[in-house]
Amino acid sequence: MDTALDVRSALTDDELRRLDAYWRAANYLTVGQIYLLGNPLLREPLTRDDIKPRLLGHWGTSPGLNLVYAHLNRVIVARDLNAMLVTGPGHGGPAIVANTWLEGTWSERYHDVARDEVGMAKLFRQFSFPGGIPSHVAADVPGSIHEGGELGYALSHAYGAAFDHPDLVVACVIGDGEAETGPLAGSWLSDVFLNPARDGAVLPILHLNGYKIANPTVLARIPETDLLDLMRGSGYQPYVVAGDDPAVVHRVLAATMDRVLDEIAEIQRRARSGGVVERPRWPMIILRTPKGWTGPQEVDGVQVEGTYRAHQVPLSGVRDNPAHLAELERWLRGYRPEELFDATGAPVAELRTLPPRGDRRMSANPVTNGGVVLRDLALPDFRDYGVDVGEPGQPMAGATGVLGPWIRDVISANPETFRLFGPDEVASNRLGAALEVTGRAWVAATVAGDDHLSPDGRVMEVLSEHLCQGWLEGYLLTGRHGVFTSYEAFIHIVDSMLNQHAKWLKVTRAIPWRQPIASLNYLLSSHVWRQDHNGFSHQDPGFIDHVVNKKAEVVRIYLPPDANTLLATMDHCLRSRHYINVVVAGKQPAPNWLTMTEAIQHTRRGLGIWEWASNDGGIEPDVVLACCGDVPTLETMAAVELLHQHLPDLRVRLVNVVDLMRLQTDTEHPHGLTDNEFDTIFTQDRPIIFAYHGYPWLIHRLTYRRNNHENLHVRGYKEEGTTTTPFDMVMLNDLDRFHLVIDVIDRVPGLAARAAHLRQRMVDARQAARDYTRRYGEDDPEVAEWRWVRETDPTNP
């Protein structure tokens, strides 16, 4: 205990009694959800038929969560706080559900679960029951922005919610098991990026109940001096609340809550008084209470309370073990429900007056239903930022470098609702124009020579993909917008976090009161085909494959071939709602193929025939060359030119794909082409040579139901990479122009015999290109400096 606190003055005896009653009510409702099918108020002795056949849920963390919730409600009322709660131990779902029912929000969202005996019975029955609600703090729970089914992200979500919400206090309960994860360990450093002058505050509450599902937890077993030093070293002022006597813990926690909120208010007052904004030492709470507190101390002669055995269901054989059934009834009656609920089953009047009112309830705070407070971005006209394409392939310009000034002006136009996130790669990915109008968020020390560091920065850079993802998710879920830019190979680090966000989006589409939020936008650059200098470790386009596994209604994947299509694509993504948008675009100088008007039209179609590069003359072609991605498009265009030059009678159709999901059928994805549309573009029986940015089998997976799938031949990345030249990279994976021409010769019926000489020249050209790199260390200028040239209309060769 911190004896410096005036624990007696924090609560009067009457306030203590009422606060404890509220805590007991929440605990009773929590246990009821785990165990009971009927008899919710114990008006009759419990019988086997009152017990659920499958006992699911987590009791161990729940009493601590109920304690924190009750005390947060006290200070919200006393101080008229704008506050929300992020629940790291999300498996303690019945606790948070219990509190939302006690304060009325659950019944407002789900009208059939009223605050009476019938509603309580429904509340109990629905928990972890077929047709009911999950066992975790899921999207169904009002006030939640954090599923908690996968541990590690609570604190980063809390900081994301606090950014640009100056009057918001985000309390975040961190379980001591969760605290062992890498993402959570890195999240403590988020305070380096929180500006007390313009952002809200985060109050971390590290709940140490000592055990995980089967083992002790690390932070509960290290010396307390080490733990305090760990928290101080991360920039916090820790306050310890510990004990197992409810009356004592209530008083100390109340006094501690008052102190930390006073300190937060003082930190913000100083920062907002016009002085220099520096990194403060934010307060945080270390709460030590027994695991499974107030539950059965022993079961069958074995200690349960305060051990890992309390983690889930302490009494597991209740339906078939009369002793366990009797113990459950003693447990429930120990909370004295007759004092807590009136004759109708509603919380007694005294308890109904304790929670905050209206939007001040944490379960009803509008920011926790981000779509309610979401406002459209003010987006500059992207058409004004494009490159002037006089003829296809000219000029050479890096796509993300062209996008950068537009992102810069998006930041300027939306100074409180848009941020750019990246793991130390914003400038590397050629978005450095953003730094012309803002800095990188930073409130730690600065030294001479630092580059664009500012407490007011809108660029969020930290060398942790986990933190960038968590911050952005918290930012989006509370009603704002953002873009996450990363090297393509390393975005895999957040695969599992993407899973959870995709699940959240999928589930909330079916929850009427949850409003759509802004889309999660990934801009992946420094991609597989231009990581030749970094080598094999930086070469992996598989994030796309991972995203495709998610529900079709929430994922979109775009591979714009040039700068103008990238601009059109990003404008679309920032206007969209409730999606995960993955955009892959290069940063190196590359040909620009389409005028802005053409790019807009092409982006809207998602894919299309480039008539100016085709010579099928509007009739059925001999072969379709398709491409998706900027480098595959470059190599395909070079192959098409070779075919036009050497096989002018061969009818070639060039198809470029921007929206990858157009390849699926319309029955599998909302963007999918109908079979008739697909056949019209790709034909029903002609060879298709498809040059694709990523792993080739994904294209087969997306198109396996199509009529012409047996004639589809895909080239892409096949795990062949090293530190080499750009063209050698595509040759290693058989995606180069010469190999594409060989594929055409091999696949078009009757062409092999009359094009044998050309095929041999293509084989020789590949070898010559490789020999040049081995001798000079760079690509042959004839390859590296190739430009598209068509002197005549290809439709009339």
279-336 pLDDT, tens digit per residue, is 999 999 999 999 999 999 999 999 999 999 999 999 988 999 999 999 999 999 999 9
Mean pLDDT taken over the chain: 95
Tokens of 733: 């994976």
> Is 50 exceeded by the pLDDT of residue 691?
yes
What percent of the chain shows pLDDT beyond 70?
98
CA distance 658 to 552: 17
Nearest residue to 468 (alpha-carbon basis) of 421, 428, 502: 421
> Is 50 exceeded by the pLDDT of residue 511?
yes
Number of separate helices (H) and strands (E) present in the chain: 28, 22
Report CA-CA distances (Å) from 437 to 429, 432, 440, 452, 522: 17, 10, 10, 10, 22
Q: For the ranges 14-18, 343-347, 390-394, 719-723, which has the lowest average pLDDT?
A: 719-723
State the pLDDT at residue 133.
Answer: 92
pLDDT in tens, 111-125: 999 999 999 999 999
Q: 757 or 275: which carries more pLDDT confidence?
A: 757
CA distance 81 to 77: 7
State the pLDDT at residue 797.
Answer: 39
State the pLDDT at residue 531.
Answer: 84
pLDDT in tens, 595-650: 999 999 999 999 999 999 999 998 899 999 999 999 999 999 999 999 999 999 99
> Is 90 exceeded by the pLDDT of residue 101?
yes
> Is 50 exceeded by the pLDDT of residue 795?
no
> Is 70 exceeded by the pLDDT of residue 412?
yes
The mean per-residue pLDDT over the stretch 763-772 comes to: 97
CA distance 25 to 63: 11
Report the half-sphere exposure of 171 (CA within 13 A, side-chain side).
26
Determine phi and psi for 394, rounding to 5 degrees: -130, 135
The mean per-residue pLDDT over the stretch 356-375 comes to: 98
State the pLDDT at residue 790.
Answer: 66
What percent of the chain shows pLDDT beyond 90?
93
Confidence of residue 147 (pLDDT cuts 50, 70, 90): confident
The mean per-residue pLDDT over the stretch 229-237 comes to: 97
Beta strands in 590-733 (DSSP E): 590-591, 607-609, 623-628, 652-657, 688-692, 712-715
State the pLDDT at residue 183.
Answer: 96
State the pLDDT at residue 5.
Answer: 74
Amino acid, res. 385: Y
Confidence of residue 1 (pLDDT cuts 50, 70, 90): very low
Confidence of residue 794 (pLDDT cuts 50, 70, 90): very low
Burial of 410 (0-12, 13-18, 19+ CB in 10 A): buried
The string over 230-268, giving b where at least 16 C-beta atoms fall within 10 Å of a residue's C-beta and e elsewhere, is bbeebbbebbbbbbeebeebbbbbbbbbbbbbebbeebb
The mean per-residue pLDDT over the stretch 772-776 comes to: 96
Q: Is 601 left (phi over 0), alpha (psi -120 to 50) or beta?
A: alpha
Helix or strand or coil: residue 57?
A: coil
> Is 70 exceeded by the pLDDT of residue 666?
yes
